[in-house]
Structure 1
Amino acid sequence: MHRIRAQWERLDERFAPVRGDTFAEVLYDEGSWLEGPAYSPAWRTVLFSDIPNDRVLAWDEATGGVGVWRSPGGYANGRTVDRAGRMLQCEHGSRSVTRTEPDGTVTVLADRWQDKRFNSPNDLVEHSDGSVWFTDPAYGIDSDYEGHHAVPEIDGCHVYRWDADGSVTRVAADFGRPNGLTFSADERTLYVTDTDRKHVRRLDVAPDLTLSGGEVLATCDAGGFDGVRVDDAGRLWAAAHDGLHCLDPDGTLLGKLLLPEVCSNLTFGGPKRNILYVTATNMLLSIRVSVTGIR
């Protein structure tokens, strides 16, 4: 394990309380294109995807070692740990959203909408009612690099919700390529990045889970936004080509954590949820910070 330089850039005084290490620990650096980090407190493990190599890797917090968790891995991309401790993940290969049960078996939650196969589910988030919300761009069927080249069956790239009764609802249909998504702490807001259009949008979530609004919150000035997470002060952290961008809920770019590689995704982890785990091109990084991620 070695370190790389991490530079904190303050662009607004409201970023002053945010502090962190001036280096990032390189936990792994032998991937092709890494994605989808998710921290399991029960396993003390970060799972992450090496998409082109079709495997899911696991970094062990206790030993610092990295091993193969699943191979082939379904060309998996984003994932999250649900409230029961199970691993939910999006798979480009099977074009589905799956759940790994405690005994290791895999349950397919959703693989189609109106009898049409998804493009390639990309990232997901769980609502407190147990529903799973996910994005479906076409990166996994564009070529054989991140999945299997195929002709789309659905008319575009959209955002969906899976409910516990097995039903799938298309909740937003006006994105170019929806990618990362996350709820605010009170679940009244859903943030969704649109990598194709280089911005992140804010949608209002009604009690019946319908969405409204959808205005652009911010536009990325370094490539396009990818994965996103929210900290306990409501700030939005978004992966970009130059590192992580930190946004106020009003859309102001407060500051950046500049890193030397293109960042794809992030998650808060560790016993106190104050360690950022970041996938950046071929590397999995960890950086201890002064903020914590929401539960």
Structure 2
Amino acid sequence: MFRILLLLPVLFVACARKPASSQSSNLYQSSDFTAENQFSGNIEGPSFDAAGNLYVVNFKQDGTVGKINAQGQGEVFVTLPNKSIANAIQFNSKGEMLLADFVNHNILKVNMQTKEVSVFAHDDRFNQPNDICITKKDVLYASDPKWKDNTGQLWRIDPDGKTTRLLENLGTTNGITLSPDEKILYVNESAQRKIWKYDLDDQGSVQNKQLFHEFTDFGMDGMKCDQKGNLYCTRHGKGVIAILSPQGKLLREVPLKGKSCSNLVFGGKDKKTVFVTLQDRRGMEQFRVETPGK
């Protein structure tokens, strides 16, 4: 009896380690989340609401927002008016959906109960709002590229919809995200292949611009941070997600099946699943990671 009792803990430890090893071996390995051709070629902007529902723009066709279930199957949640096409989604603290509408140069707001769509912010100086991120205080930041001449702007949009142009005469501003403590704003320039970091002051303005990382090939699109501050960047055309340390060091690249990755979001119950939108496959892939998303 004594010997059996000694062996039992050993067996338990051995059994406990096996699933951990199995899970570890599946990290950073991409697989299909949705079927191909479920979206238009402008698939973008994946975002979860507070209840864990996933929304992605341009489901089936341009101008829609799709609601995607845990099995990767979707339905049209709302169709945008006035031929608007959204490129990014964020949710504010009230649970309202905010959309970057690059056609009509707006930030749109969707009432999630009535599905009413209204203009939350508009500025005649907008080029075409592209990607957005939001703070816990509902301050929105928007990239605003002008693709025809590879320039761009950076905007802050306050909770009341007031617009402030923070910077102009930038490169083609595209992916944008906040650090976990919301003290740093990351903005990439697709054509220039540069990621910049800005310190945010108490008023929400940017300062102390620093080059965070520069790639020598391929473009960039959406970005997100994990809870440790590592930056996940879509490498559009290369078909990988580049993971960069808070110091800007390339830690690894996660290969995808598709090449035209446009954006990503952390999700799942533990926020350790990364969901990626692929414009060439017109669908989504997913992979598991060690650190939860912001």
Contact 2:35 2:283 in 1 (8 A): yes
- 2:76 aligned with 1:68: yes
C-alpha change, 1:23 and 1:123, in structure 2 (3 Å) is closer
Q: CA deviation at 1:53?
A: 3.0
Q: CA deviation at 1:162?
A: 1.0
2:284 matched residue in structure 1: 284
Matches within 5 A, 1:242-261: 242-261=239-258
Give, as a single letter, the amino acid of the residue that structure 2 aligns with 1:49: N
C-alpha change, 1:203 and 1:22, in structure 2 (3 Å) is same
CA distance, structure 2, for counterparts of residue 121 and residue 105 of structure 1 = 21
- 2:27 aligned with 1:29: no
2:122 to 94, 99, 111: 111
Residue 57 of structure 2 aligns to a residue in which SS?
strand
1:82 matched residue in structure 2: 92
Q: CA deviation at 1:54?
A: 3.0
Unpaired stretches in structure 2, ≥5 consecutive residues: 1-23
Runs (4+) of structure 1 exceeding 4 A deviation are: none
Q: Which moved more, 1:44-53 or 1:177-186?
A: 44-53
**Quick one: percent identity of the two aligned structures?**
25
Contact 2:30 2:255 in 1 (8 A): no
Greater share of residues in helix: 2
1:98 matched residue in structure 2: 108
CA distance, structure 2, for counterparts of residue 129 and residue 213 of structure 1 = 22
Number of aligned residue pairs: give it: 261
Higher Cα Rg: structure 1 or 2? 2
1:110-130 alpha-carbon deviations (Å, 9 max, x no partner): 111xxx242211111112222
Matches within 5 A, 1:52-67: 53-61=62-70, 64-67=72-75
1:168 matched residue in structure 2: 163
C-alpha change, 1:19 and 1:175, in structure 2 (3 Å) is farther
Q: CA deviation at 1:78?
A: 1.0
1:131 to 126, 139, 144: 139
Normalising by structure 1, what TM-score?
Answer: 0.81
Higher RCO structure (Cα 8 Å, ≥6 apart): 1
CA distance, structure 2, for counterparts of residue 33 and residue 251 of structure 1 = 29
Q: CA RMSD in A?
A: 2.4
